[in-house]
Amino acid sequence: MTFDLYRDAHGIPHLRAGDVLGLARAQGRVTARDRAWQLEVERHRVRGTTAAFLGREALPWDRFARRARLEDTARRCHAALEERDPETAAWVRAYVEGVNEGLAAGARRAPEFARTGLAPGRWEPWTPFGVWLGTHILFAGFPAKLWREEVVRHLGPGAVGLFAADGPGTAGSNGWLVTGARTATGQAVIAGDPHRFIEEPGVYQQIRLACPEFDVLGLAVPGVPGIAHFAHTGTVAWAITNAMADYQDLYRERLRRIPDGVEALDPDGTWRPAPAHTESIEVAGAEGRPEEVEVIETARGPVVIGSPPPHGTTPAAGPEADPCAPLALRHPPRVTGDLGFGALLPLLRARRVADVDRAFDRWAEPVNVVLAADTEGGTLHRVAGRVPVRAAANRVRPVPAWEPGHEWTGWHETPYGDLDDGLAVMANQRGPAARLGTEFAPPHRADRIRALLGGRPRWRAADMPEIHTDTHLASAAPLLDHLAALDGLAPAPAALRERLLRWDRRMAADSTDAAAYAAVRGALVRRLAAEPAFAVLADPPAYPEVFQPWLALLPRVGLALEHLLTAPDLYGIDRPALVRAALEETAVTLGEGVTWGDTHLLAPWRALPPEAPGEAPQEPGLSGDHDCVLSTSSVPGLTDLASRASAARYVWDLARREDSRWVVPFGACGVPGDPHHRDQLPLWLTGGLAPVVTDWTLLTEEDTMSEERPRDAGRPDAPGAYAGRPAVHEQRIDGFGTVRLLRLDPVADAGTVHRWVREERAVFWGMNGLTEEQVGEVYAHLDTLDTHHAFLAVKDGGPVGLLQTYEPEADRVSECYAVEPGDIGIHVLLAPPGETAPGTGGAETAGAGPGGRRPGWSRALMSVFTTYAFTVLDRARIVVDPDARNARALARFTAEGFVLGPPVTLPEIDLPDVYLPEKRARLGFLRAGAGEVTDGRAR
């Protein structure tokens, strides 16, 4: 397979291939190399086999995946696509082939495989369908119907609204479109941020896909080809948010066992066979036999909760008799065999909003609100996805399968939205999808975004982070109103109340007032949840563990606090007394100087938690809160830790795609320790956005021809590759780390050096046109000389630079200056950006031109090289000969204390074993003891 792989300074892959199939294959291969562990976890999740390597804690999901028949649904959707759309099916197969090609190399990079003993498996053509299904099966929140059922059962139908998501909601995605009439360029800008549970690695993959048919960049879902949710093709861009539609139903089933199987009661009063079988789930570390799960499917769908009673037992008549009666899940992909993959290729090929509109006609799930704009001034605001037409009761709570009137009778038509005053805002609020859902997010975020956009007449792409990061909390008003009404307070609570009433209502990480508000809120939530009126909801039926988050009382009270404080009556609960008690408690317990960021820490989900608590990264404190535009969601009353936040932020500029911006919470690579595993976190925390690079000449090319000699050799993906090689020098630099100098191996290290010297920035080395074999031959010849030596600098297990030393009298440089006793010449080449060791950032060449970004990087390595020359080789003076035109390199050497001489011409050398072209250089000299270049500790 031939394709070009480039990366920018953040390691984001830019792929170029000769055709669509080759590009899909390249996308799969590179994704597997960067995110093998993530891909394999997702593959096992859809099959319900994660407990086999993650242990018993993964068992609840595996049971659900088996009972919901996720793998079988994925197979059905793939088979249907093969018949309906063979071109797209072939495209998906090409992606899968690429994944299989890259998995082995990716697994060698990922330490999780060795830790769990997991071997990378083989992807099937239907696996991407399963990844998509597994990612979104709980996205629409059908378990909320179980909660509503409990609320109705204990408190009556009128109580459902008290806990409705409209105030507050459970989603936090934002998106907005500003038309050319409201921008400085006259072209539209689309921006936003999808909010999801934060996972490490992230749920979105920044990527660029280019071939003769299209050139598209955006945020892909690892394991699925193309770019579905957020993308910019150069002439059209689009983005989505969750429409909050309801398209999944739960049916209470009456099941009975018969001698040869299971039967279910249908609405016409007939008992019909319900296919059933038993599956085994392997559990790592478990003693005895595997776990067994019974898989049953009725005409409505797979039974995800409950089982039939024993043979000969009469099934319960309804939920009043048995609240845990079996429940079947009905959702569109299981019914239609369509996951909407037919939209993915047309989206990549889109040129105008009309193309995007037609492509989203083929979308299935999740149901989204779409915003799009093109360079001709076209705009689009619509809902995409399949929502069944059925009784209103289906959308609220489980319905009886044996009663008529709950069947699906068709599909809702696509709702379209309008642009108001040149703006469209989507933030999960009631909008064009209002008639398709039951609960939506409150209007706070949407109203705030619209108000901010109205604050200036013209917007630029660069202005959008001020909206992304807005922390105003409008939903604080009801609690603050209750605080304002209190009287007769003791001095400490009174002082705290006055602080909160003066508070600017911004949930800033450094705000002590925001922390105080959150503490009062949490105390109030706990008191409300303990009230006898709500205590009946504290112990829900014994539904499977995977559904318990939707049934926990404390989070429900915390998320519904706004409604609970403003309802006309709350079952006789004395809300002022509870608010007073919460305020008094907080006045005693609130720590001095505690800020919101001290407790509101990022808490990402990892499939494999660290073996010891101390091994986990220290996660940062966050600004924002659930109803802020900067939506960082915790669970008031339970924890301030934030598990939901922006899974990405983006700004699509239709005037100039290269002025677009994006960022993800961690980084482009899923390999712990890789320099691009968490390098975007500082940007993400501060609201910064990384530039979208579209100029191929500004990117760094990688070797894609071999799986055995790429940038993995000797990096964190190949632990110990350099550990066994002796070092000629090892040095610790405070604040930087330990660097080891190893003798360069002309065979083992040729691939690494070849990648470095073939770059444009290394043209002064004279090896740009050489093959890897030829580079190896050059250094093999060098290895035969007593006067010239080459060394590889290694930091944190990865190669970070090349040092060559030479005796000046044996080199052409001697023709250009008077050699003194004790002189040693050096050439320095540092690893390019994106190919440095963990935590080191970018690099730059000292003799070939700029390439790095991190301050102090060159200085640290130069300290190692000069210390080696002065202390180990015991030389009196170092000579360098950088390109006379490379002002940056010259400035670097000057900063290190080198004294520069006049420009010189290094003559051409043409010998049988080596050819060196004529060069215009400028010599530099550093004497031992000059400058501060030996501040490390040599060992």
Query: pLDDT digit string (tens) for 90-111?
Result: 999 999 999 999 999 999 999 9
Q: What are phi and psi of 422, to 5 degrees?
A: 80, 15
10 Å Cβ neighbour count for 460?
Answer: 16
Cα(728)–Cα(868) distance, rounded to whole angstroms?
9
Instruction: Tell me the pLDDT of the chain averaged across its residues.
Output: 90
What is the pLDDT, as a whole number, of residue 714? 34
Tell me whether strands 303-305 and 291-296 are parallel, antiparallel or unpaired: unpaired
Confidence of residue 748 (pLDDT cuts 50, 70, 90): confident
CA distances from 196 to 174, 599, 672 (A): 11, 20, 21
Give residue 761's pLDDT. Answer: 65
Tens digits of per-residue pLDDT, 143-183?
999 999 999 999 999 899 888 764 334 557 999 999 999 99
Q: Are 119 and 107 contacting, i.e. CB atoms less than 8 angstroms apart?
A: yes
For every residue of 701-724, which 3-state class applies, written as one string?
A: EECCCCCCCCCCCCCCCCCCCCCC
**Percentage of the chain modeled with pLDDT above 90:** 76
Say how many C-beta atoms besides its own lie within 10 A of residue 682's C-beta: 11
Query: What CA–CA distance (Å, rounded) separates 178 from 183?
Result: 7
Q: Is the pLDDT of residue 849 over 50?
A: no
pLDDT in tens, 351-376: 999 999 999 999 999 999 999 999 99
**Residue 841 confidence class, pLDDT cut points 50, 70, 90:** very low
Q: Retrieve residue 839's tokens.
A: 């935590």
Residue 460 has pLDDT above 90, yes or no: yes
Closest by CA to 497, choosing from 518, 480, 474, 476, is: 480
The confidence band for 903, taking pLDDT boundaries of 50, 70 and 90, is confident
Instruction: For residue 773, name the pLDDT band (cuts at 50, 70, 90).
Output: confident
Q: Is the pLDDT of residue 520 over 70?
A: yes
Q: What is the pLDDT of residue 754?
A: 87
Q: Which residue type sits at 804?
A: Q
Is 102 or 840 the better-scoring residue by pLDDT? 102
Distances from the Cα of 10 to the Cαs of 129, 184, 473, 675, 685, in angstroms?
A: 29, 29, 33, 9, 16
Element (H, E) at 499: helix 491-502
Give residue 196's pLDDT.
Answer: 92
Whole-model pTM over 0.85: no
Rounded Cα gap, residues 188 and 166, in angstroms: 30
Q: 437-449 burial, b if ≥16 CB within 10 A, otherwise e?
A: bbbbbbbbbbebb
Q: What is the pLDDT of residue 306?
A: 96
**pLDDT (average), residues 409-414:** 97
Is 315 a residue whose pLDDT tops 90? no
Burial class (CB in 10 A: 0-12, 13-18, 19+), 737: middle
Across 784-802, average pLDDT: 90
pLDDT of residue 908: 72
pLDDT at 850 over 60: no
Three-state secondary-structure class, residue 369: strand
Quick check: helix, strand or coil at residue 188? coil
Q: Which long-range contacts (CB under 8 A, 24 or more apart) does 444-447 make?
A: 444/168, 444/473, 444/474, 444/475, 444/627, 445/172, 445/174, 445/627, 445/628, 445/629, 445/631, 447/474
**pLDDT tens digits, 18-52:** 999 999 999 999 999 999 999 999 999 999 999 99
**Residue 716: band (very low, low, confident or very high) from pLDDT cuts 50, 70, 90:** very low
For CA atoms 390, 141, 346, 80, the dihedral sign is: negative
Could you tell me the pLDDT band of residue 772, with boundaries at 50, 70 and 90? confident
d(CA 425, CA 416): 13
Of the candidate ranges 39-48, 224-233, 854-863, 876-885, the one whose mean pLDDT is the lowest? 854-863
Phi and psi based region of residue 115 (left: phi greater than 0; alpha: psi -120 to 50; beta: remaining): alpha
Each residue's pLDDT tens digit, 109-132: 999 999 999 999 999 999 999 999
Looking at domain 708-938, its CATH architecture is: 3-Layer(aba) Sandwich (3.40)
Query: Which of 203, 198, 206, 202 lies closest to 231, judged by CA?
Result: 206
If pLDDT is split at 50, 70 and 90, which confidence band does 720 have? very low
What is the average per-residue pLDDT within 376-401? 97
Residues composing the chain? 939
**Is the per-residue pLDDT at 854 higher than 50?**
no
How do beta strands 255-258 and 261-265 pair?
Answer: antiparallel
- Token pair for residue 418? 């309008």
- Contact status, residue 286 vs residue 307, Cβ threshold 8 Å: no
Contact 327, 336 (CB under 8 A): no
Q: What is the mean pLDDT of residues 210-221?
A: 98
* Burial tier of 205 (Cβ tally within 10 Å: 0-12, 13-18, 19+): buried
What are the φ/ψ torsions at residue 328 (nearest 5 degrees)? -105, 145
- Strand order of the sheet with strand 249-252? 303-305, 327-330, 249-252, 399-400
Average pLDDT over residues 484-506: 98
Going from N- to C-terminal start, the domains of the chain cover 708-938
pLDDT at 323 over 80: no
As a whole number, mean pLDDT of residues 744-773 equals 79
pLDDT of residue 339: 97
Per-residue model confidence (pLDDT) at position 415: 97
Mean predicted confidence (pLDDT) in 310-314? 79
List C-alpha distances in Å: 700 to 580, 758, 766.
61, 10, 18
- For residue 786, what pLDDT is reported? 87
C-alpha span between 923 and 901 (Å, rounded): 5
Residue 343: pLDDT band by 50, 70, 90 thresholds? very high
Between CA 152 and CA 150 the distance in angstroms is 5
